[in-house]
Amino acid sequence: MGLPRRGTYTSDDGVQKITIENTNSSNGQIEGTYGSSSSPVGPLSISNMRGDFMWVHSQEAGRDGVAPFVIRFFAKQRPSPRAYSIVDSWNGGYQTDDTMLLSGTRAYVNQEGVVQSISLGTKVFSM
């Protein structure tokens, strides 16, 4: 079984979901889907989520390819006719218990000139 584990990780407050569908350990790339039940435009479901991860050499395990390691994700959406753009980003660590401790931010701009840049907080995501 490779790390990070594929599957759906839900934030501890139930608002966000990150689904890891594909991983590539040779270049650290991640592909999947992202959902949030709360945003300025209503619920989000974004199928082009991207991310990456970087292992460190674990002294305890004597090798790399094991948790903990750095992991991050971003999901962006700009539907036609370009009425708004929204990007959610999550950055943190994949832990030994197959959970992720992540801090999130959101950038949002709409055609009326509203600009938001907010923190989504620090949350634990688990399967």
Q: Where are the domains of the chain?
A: 7-126
Per-residue pLDDT at 1 exceeds 80: no
The model's pTM: 0.92
The residue behind tokens 């370009």 is 82
pLDDT tens digits, residue range 33-55? Answer: 999 999 999 999 999 999 999 99
28: tokens are 């650290």
Q: What is the third-level CATH fold of 7-126? A: Lipocalin (2.40.128)
pLDDT tier, 21 (very low <50, low <70, confident <90, very high otherwise): very high
The residue behind tokens 């991050």 is 72
Number of H helices, E strands in the chain: 0, 8
pLDDT tier, 127 (very low <50, low <70, confident <90, very high otherwise): very high
pLDDT tens digits, residue range 52-74? Answer: 999 988 888 888 888 899 999 99
